[in-house]
A = this chain, B = another copy of it.
Amino acid sequence: MTMNVLGYAAPSAKAALAPYQFERRDMRNDDVGIEILYCGICHSDLHEVNNDWDRNSIYPMVPGHEIIGRVVSVGPDVTRFKPGDQVGVGCMVDSCQNCAACKQGLEQYCEKGPTLTYDDKDRYDQMPTYGGYSEKIIVREKFVLRIPEGLDLKGVGPLLCAGITTWSPLRHWRVSEGSNVGVIGLGGLGHMALKLAKALGANVTLFSRSPGKEQDARSLGADNIVISTDGEQMAAVNNKFELIIDTVPYVHDLNPYLPSLSINGTLVLVGLLGNLEPTLNTVPLIMGRKSVAGSAIGGIAETQELLNFCGQHGITADVEVIKIQDVNEAYKRMFKSDVKYRFVIDMASLKS
């Protein structure tokens, strides 16, 4: 049994998104049926649609993994949700649940690979997964997040990808009151990193190439801005940061940032997939027990922790809400970084 759903899909690689009618599986016993209210547009949606990462993408592709909705139905084994609940779905909808990573609640690192919310295949019936640019989605209960009351739902979707991607390293590297945290790049991820690090009590510095971002950075939570091309400003933050979150998604030189890590400090890459060019010089790493690390989204438990934290602190992403009919235009603007700081699709527009 399947159900017929309307969404927007890319019919082939690099093609514009267009309305698409498709089949979702019917509910399993541990599934939650969700009516989608909002879906954020992640930079990776564009990469996936374009097949930039060469992942044998499946078309037509319905993107979207920053999903906010309302429960409309639950399978008989579902215990934590009921119709009417506000829920979210992020980048994953399943994982093996058995490997060392899954057992630690780090499903994003599932040794067999998590099932991605779209452009993947269901672990049981091998049906393609379709994302949040659509009316409804069916998701295994374990991968459904509870959205706390009191947040403006429009800005919550991006917490499920941009938010958790920066939250997970902040928590893993134990950022707390008084920690010195650097953030490289001010986009969807960077703006969340500023807000979350600040809310954790850290002293937060934005590294930016453009002086023009100072005002915005400060209003998002940055205590300081360092222009990364200014040698004097960089020297002034020598040995400062316990953690630097590097959100830049394109090739860039990490070496200038390493001296600004404190002893035992870590620069964590969350946006750059590929070869480091130019290559790293190891001397600053060895001469200060510094690390270069990577981190991907976050586990389900820590995503729920983030949502609860955001509920307590009133944190949402800064978003620009669009109609689904404007998604291709939004992709073009996102490609030019012309958004503060995340597009979110109001899914009610799908019916218009």
Chain A residues in the interface with B (C-beta under 8 A): 100-101, 104, 106, 109, 111, 168, 172, 239, 262-264, 266, 269-270, 272-296
Q: What are the residues of chain B within 8 A of A295 when measuring CB–CB?
A: 286, 289
- Let me know if A109 and B287 touch, CB within 8 A: yes
Nearest chain B CB to A262 CB, angstrom units? 7
Residue of B nearest to A255 (CB): B275
A267, B135: Cα distance in complex, Å: 45
30 A-B interface contacts by CB (under 8 A)? A100-B262, A101-B288, A106-B263, A106-B289, A109-B263, A109-B287, A109-B289, A168-B289, A172-B264, A266-B291, A269-B282, A269-B286, A270-B286, A272-B282, A273-B283, A274-B281, A275-B279, A275-B280, A276-B276, A276-B279, A276-B280, A276-B281, A280-B280, A280-B292, A284-B294, A286-B295, A287-B296, A289-B294, A289-B295, A290-B293
Cα A276 to Cα B254 in complex, Å, equals: 13
With A263-B104, A263-B109, A292-B291 as given contacts, are A275 and B282 in contact (CB-CB < 8 Å)? yes
Does A277 contact B274, Cβ atoms closer than 8 Å?
no
A273, A278, A290, A291 — most chain B CB neighbours (10 Å):
A291
A285 touching B292 in the complex, CB below 8 Å, given contacts A100-B239, A106-B263, A111-B239 = yes
Nearest CB of chain B from residue A55's CB, rounded to whole Å: 12
CB distance B274 to A282 under 8 Å?
A: yes
A262 — which chain B residues lie within 8 A by C-beta?
100
B residues less than 8 Å from A270 (CB atoms):
286
How many identical chains are in the complex? 2
Shortest CB distance A123–B (Å)? 18
CB distance from A350 to the nearest CB of B (A): 33
Alpha-carbon distance between A106 and B288 when the two chains are bound, in angstroms: 9
Q: How far is the CA of A276 from the CA of B262 in the complex (A)?
A: 21
Given contacts A100-B262, A276-B280, A292-B292, 10 further A-B contacts (CB under 8 A): A101-B263, A101-B288, A104-B263, A106-B263, A168-B289, A270-B286, A274-B283, A276-B279, A278-B279, A279-B280
Q: Is the CB of B100 within 8 A of A263?
A: yes
* Complex Cα–Cα for A294 and B266 (A): 11
Smallest distance from the beta carbon of A111 to chain B beta carbons, Å? 6
CB < 8 Å neighbour of A289 from B280, B289, B292, B293: B293
Q: What's the minimum C-beta distance from A183 to chain B, rounded to whole angstroms? A: 17
B-side contacts of A104, CB under 8 Å = 263
- Chain B residues with Cβ below 8 Å from A269 are 282, 285-286
Residues from chain B with Cβ under 8 Å of A277 in the complex: 279
* Residue of A109, A239, A294 contacting most chain B CB atoms (<10 Å): A294
Q: How many angstroms between the C-alpha atoms of A275 and B279 in the bound complex?
A: 6
Instruction: State how many angstroms separate the Cβ of A106 from the closest Cβ of chain B.
Output: 6
Give the residues in chain B near A239, CB-CB below 8 Å. 100, 111
Q: Please measure, in the bound complex, the distance between the C-alpha atom of A294 and the C-alpha atom of B285, giving whole angstroms.
A: 5
Interchain CB contact under 8 A, B276 and A282? yes
- B172, B281, B285, B296: which contacts A293 (Cβ < 8 A)? B285
Question: A83 CB to closest chain B CB, in angstroms?
Answer: 36
Give the shortest distance, in Å, between A235 (CB) and chain B (any CB).
Answer: 13
> Hey, which chain B residues are within 8 Å of A172, CB to CB?
264, 289
